[in-house]
Structure 1
Amino acid sequence: MGMFERWLTVWVGLAIVVGIGLGLTAPGAFAVVAALEVAHVNLVVAVLIWVMIYPMMIQIDFASVRDVGRRPQGLALTLVVNWLIKPFTMAALGVLFFHHLFAPWVDPASADEYIAGMILLGVAPCTAMVFVWSQLTRGDPNYTLVQVSVNDLVMIVAFAPIAAFLLGVTDIVVPWQTLLLSTVLYVVLPLLAGVLTRRALSSPGAVATFVARLKPASVVGLLATVLMLFALQAETLVAQPVVIALIAIPLIIQTYGIFAITFVLARRMRLPYPVAAPACLIGTSNFFELAVAVAISLFGLHSGAALATVVGVLVEVPVMLSLVALMRRFGRLFPAYA
């Protein structure tokens, strides 16, 4: 591991502090950045995430992707956790905390909206950042691509029914533009760029050398994304610190809990480490663009549901970095760990 990877948690912490500081001192500049969006997808953040994903896409070998079907266990585990476990545990935690444990400090109407936002996060498994987490854990890029692609297809048909069931309503409006645009920005375009780059490079050695040179840019993209997200939400963080802390507690418990469940199941299934690593992380991360967009369209920009989805964005990177560290530390428990 290079210096940036080894101390990544420290750099992320600094990016959070700097982001909040810049957001408070120059809110106008970040308001301009926030306005640069299409279908609730911020284009600046999309470019930064694209920079992070691109190096991993170069490593994808489509000849190997065809072999993923011979190892369906990891994909099956991901689908079960993402669609049969995660949404329901998120809803249960939301009810437990906001209808019971936090009831003395949160009014019932706000509690319902916070729970709704948590549910929307739970029903939206990650699309983009999984590639980053997989790369940091040295997961199989080919398998990660298949996992993300299949989950995107399932999300198209399963997101609205599950969200409607858990929210107790039947008029969930899925912002299809957000879903499709995010898939194009975070999967299709970087994948196409990776394929073209791989073809332009004549040998596996050239590919490895090129990817190694891109690693610093990938880390910078991650840090810039963190800085941007915290700068955009700086005023909210300062204005409602207690509420944000209350929302963050069940979200953090959910993230570690889903990781633990997937880790134990992957261990019992004896999945090889390069498959187990992305499988353990894809369910713990969230497709926050979709969750935020649906929360805004259903409950409004300044609703508790929208705030809960934003808190999900804020806690995700630090928590996911800790899970990456745990996965690498205990990866030796899985076969084929290198």
Structure 2
Amino acid sequence: MTAPAPTPVTALATEGNVAGRLSFVDRYLALWILAAMAAGLGLGRLVPGLGGALAEVTVTGVSLPIALGLLVMMYPVLAKVRYDRLGTVTRDRRLLVPSLLLNWVVGPALMFALAWLFLPDLPAYRTGLIIVGLARCIAMVIIWNDLACGHREAAAVLVALNSVFQVIAFAALGWFYLSVLPGWLGLARTDLDVSTWQIARSVLIFLGIPLAAGYLTRRIGERTKGRTWYESRLLPRIGPFALYGLLFTIVLLFALQGDAITSSPLDVARVAVPLLVYFAVMWAGSMALARVIGLDYPRATTLAFTAAGNNFELAIAVAIATFGASSGQALAGVVGPLIEVPALIALVHVALRTRRHFTVQEAPTHA
């Protein structure tokens, strides 16, 4: 059967119409995120011992309350995925091959170059930044992709691929970019002592649990009540918890190192600059590549956000486990979401404005 001809994206809703259909929380998400960051920084600065209390009980090196926030954040979005459509995504080589190259070749190499270019005299922050570049996104990208009207099923597949490659390749890439490549270039070398099991355990917890929960929720819900009930009744009830989990996680993340961030604003600014360059270059380059190879808007958006985002929870866990919770490497990991969250929220709005430059074969369905 011949696929339907692409329709102009201009026929879809405009950014303003999309914003008009958002809930009160969704519409002012950027404001809530800034407030959550400010609240976290204030709590970390004003409440003595809060950071230590948050770090007291951990899961794979991440504070248990933060881990719970991440799970709550990811579950509703993964419950929205139509798993019966995943087969069409896995056969789409125009999407999968560029995604793998951008995530596992271009992204780490770009972050390595930026870290050495902007932080040659700050080895701890530089190492932390490189670790962030190696940790490909498996969590928040689902939120950004959803807000930008990206392809949910494609995002689920790419996130799953990133998870598999993370388990297989993270330790080897860490060894290469922190020890081998600097040695070849005559630069300072750093050893990264992290096991494959540490990475696998983090992926299983932060992706495996919400993925299994989301899949079972859809399967059981559709089987007992039908797809119409599931998408029109259940999803609207559980959907807001993704943003509640996001805001809760942000508050705790910035409370964890609020004192370090507010006492070293210049260092934070220096770490922020290469991160901003990284997000802009990876996102814009991915969107341009998607345009050249003829991807429609939903898949182009998914490609761009999965390439630009990073798995900060894994980066923080590895930095804490290897260098300590108070290390510069861990601080660089925490600065990651400080910059990533507002940067990618801004890119969501940029993405919505670029839709007229793409065609779309199938508009994503948003509950």
Per the TM superposition, whether the score is higher than 0.5 is yes
Map of 1:193 onto structure 2:
213
Distance 1:278 1:196 in 2: 24
- Say which SS state the counterpart of residue 283 (structure 1) adopts: helix
Deviation string for 1:102-150 (max 9, x for gaps)? xxxxxx3xx2222211111111111111221222122222211110111
Distance 1:14 1:46, change over 3 A: same
Which deviates more from structure 2 when the two are superposed, residues 273-282 or residues 328-337? 328-337
**Aligned partner of residue 27 in structure 1, secondary structure:** coil
Between the aligned partners of 1:12 and 1:253, the Cα distance in structure 2 is 21
Report the Cα distance in structure 1 between the residues aligned to 2:328 and 2:50, rounded to whole angstroms.
25
Aligned CA distance change for structure 1 residues 290 and 131 (closer, same or farther; 3 Å):
same
- Larger mean Cα displacement after TM superposition, 249-258 or 46-55: 46-55
1:31 is aligned to 2:52: yes
Q: What SS is found at the alignment partner of 2:295?
A: coil
Question: Which of these residues, 254, 266, 269, is aligned with residue 230 of structure 1?
Answer: 254
Instruction: Tell me how far apart the structure 2 counterparts of residues 303 and 228 of structure 1 sit (CA, whole Å).
Output: 18
**Cα-Cα RMSD:** 2.0
Query: In the alignment, which residue of structure 2 is the partner of 1:294?
Result: 318
What pairs up with 1:136-147 in 2 under 5 angstroms? Answer: 136-147=147-158
Q: Structure 1 residue 194: deviation in Å?
A: 1.6
User: Percent sequence identity over matched residues?
Assistant: 36
Structure 2 length-normalised TM:
0.83
CA positional deviation for 1:29: 4.0
Contact 1:175–1:294 (CA under 8 A) maintained in structure 2: no
Aligned length: 328
Shift of 1:177: 4.3
Structure 1 residues not aligned, in runs of 5+: 100-107
How far did residue 244 of structure 1 move?
0.8
1:49-198 matched pairs, under 5 angstroms: 49-99=70-120, 108=121, 111-169=122-180, 171-198=191-218
Mark the runs of 5 or more structure 2 residues left unpaired by the alignment.
1-21, 181-189
- Structure 1's 79 and 185: CA in aligned 2 closer, same or farther, altered over 3 A? same
Within 1, Cα distance between the matches of 2:150 and 2:92? 14
Note if 1:273 corresponds to 2:284. no
Say whether the 8 Å CA contact 1:16–1:227 is kept in structure 2: yes
The aligned amino acid for 2:272 is A
User: Is 2:308 the partner of 1:284?
Assistant: yes
The aligned counterpart of 1:105 is none
2 CA distance for matches of 1:302 and 1:197? 39
Shift of 1:30: 4.5
> Which of residues 247, 251, 259 in structure 1 aligns to 2:271?
247
| SS of residue in 2 equivalent to 1:128 | coil
CA contact (8 A) 1:58 1:207 kept: no
Is 1:262 equivalent to 2:286 in the alignment? yes
Which whole-Å CA distance do the structure 1 matches of 2:96 and 2:125 have between them?
31
Say whether the 8 Å CA contact 2:171–2:195 is kept in structure 1: no
Q: Which amino acid aligns with 1:200?
A: I
- Separation in 1 of the partners of 2:48 and 2:353? 40
